Amino acid sequence: MAAEIISGTEMARTIREELRIGVEEFKRSVGRPPGLATVLVGSDPASQAYVRMKKRAAVDLGMYSRQIELDREITEDELLGWIEGLNADPDIHGILVQLPLPPQIRKNRILEAIHPAKDVDGFHPINVGRMAVGDPAALAPCTPLGVVEMLVRSGIQTRGRHAVVVGRSDIVGKPMGSMLLGTGPGGDATVTVTHILTQDLASHTRMADILIVAAGHPSLITADMVKPGVVVIDVGVNRVADSSREKGYRLTGDVAFDEVREVASVITPVPGGVGPMTIAMLMSNTLKAARSLNRAMA
């Protein structure tokens, strides 16, 4: 029997409705909305599209949104100046610098300059550390947070089960492993993190009760690489050429969806899976940051 499909689009809608109430309450008690600043350097079309979606989601929830668009030739010091301004701005509770950044800018210098309390991407070393030790005050990265939320809301048990992560990026793979290993709902798993240098990848993926794929390779995971009944979460977003589409491409995940669906028990689609959940978690982090900054001021 074909796997059940978890709709991230629908789940994210439910989460946004929950957040809308929280945003209203915040506005009533504080007198101003939670504010999110997005910083985009250069004009990469995919990054532009992501930033646009994030801004739209914030505005839709009644948040304040500020979009800063900077020339791709900007210097590191100039960009740091923008970050300092946003750190000091009381209308801004969340700062997101869209990655990747151009080569003249050292990514880590920028991510470390964002005030940890406004770091809604969860990329600052302070938040990475807090998350690793299970501190609930941590602002955690939105994509793995969205995956955990999907598992928990779908009633998928992680406790004691074998979760295999494919990909070791700082944005998804590493924090994903850390969250699954942590204690509590969506955690307590036995975790294997694999990556591009892993030998015989299929021998690992076949062991998975829960398989989370964030490798950036279309159709990397095929039906012969998974065991029957596996839960498959596809984090990949790949643009593949498709002349039948108006844009000349279509989005596809890292999992060969049609064939793996025949073996798995649960699977997430691309698009409409983890993507919308990531944005919902960014909104959740922005509200969390706003509440926490407001408490600190009181």
What are the catalytic residues?
54, 98, 121
Q: CA 93, CA 77: separation in Å to the nearest integer?
A: 22
Q: CA 202, CA 194: separation in Å to the nearest integer?
A: 10
96 belongs to the binding site for ligand GUN (CB under 6 A): yes
142 belongs to the binding site for ligand GUN (CB under 6 A): yes
Buried b (16+ CB within 10 A) or exposed e, 30-56: eeebbbbbbbbbbeeeebeebbeebbe
Is-cis flag, bond preceding 125, omega within 30?
A: no
Closest residue to ligand GUN, judged by C-beta, is 99
99 belongs to the binding site for ligand GUN (CB under 6 A): yes
Strand order in the sheet with 35-41: 64-70, 35-41, 94-97
Q: Is 241 helix (H, G, I), strand (E, B) or coil?
A: strand
- Residue 151 to residues 17, 41, 209, 222, 233, Cα–Cα distance (Å): 19, 34, 12, 22, 9
277 belongs to the binding site for ligand GUN (CB under 6 A): no
Task: Tell me the window of 61-69, 74-82, 91-99, 205-213 that interacts with ligand GUN (CB under 6 A).
Answer: 91-99
143 belongs to the binding site for ligand GUN (CB under 6 A): yes
Task: Tell me the window of 94-102, 190-198, 223-231, 252-260 that interacts with ligand GUN (CB under 6 A).
Answer: 94-102
Q: Which position among 36, 86, 97, 230 is part of the footprint of ligand GUN (CB under 6 A)?
A: 97
120 belongs to the binding site for ligand GUN (CB under 6 A): no
191 and 180 Cβ atoms separated by less than 8 Å: yes
289 belongs to the binding site for ligand GUN (CB under 6 A): no
Work out how close the CB of 292 gets to ligand GUN at its nearest, in angstroms, rounded to a whole number: 20
Structure tokens at 272: 């409409």
121 belongs to the binding site for ligand GUN (CB under 6 A): yes
Task: Tell me the window of 95-103, 148-156, 193-201, 222-230 that interacts with ligand GUN (CB under 6 A).
Answer: 95-103
Task: Tell me the window of 82-90, 93-101, 240-248, 261-269 that interacts with ligand GUN (CB under 6 A).
Answer: 93-101
Q: CA 61, CA 117: separation in Å to the nearest integer?
A: 21
Site for ligand GUN in 219-238 (CB under 6 A): none
Interface residues toward ligand GUN, by CB under 6 A? 96-99, 121, 142-143, 171
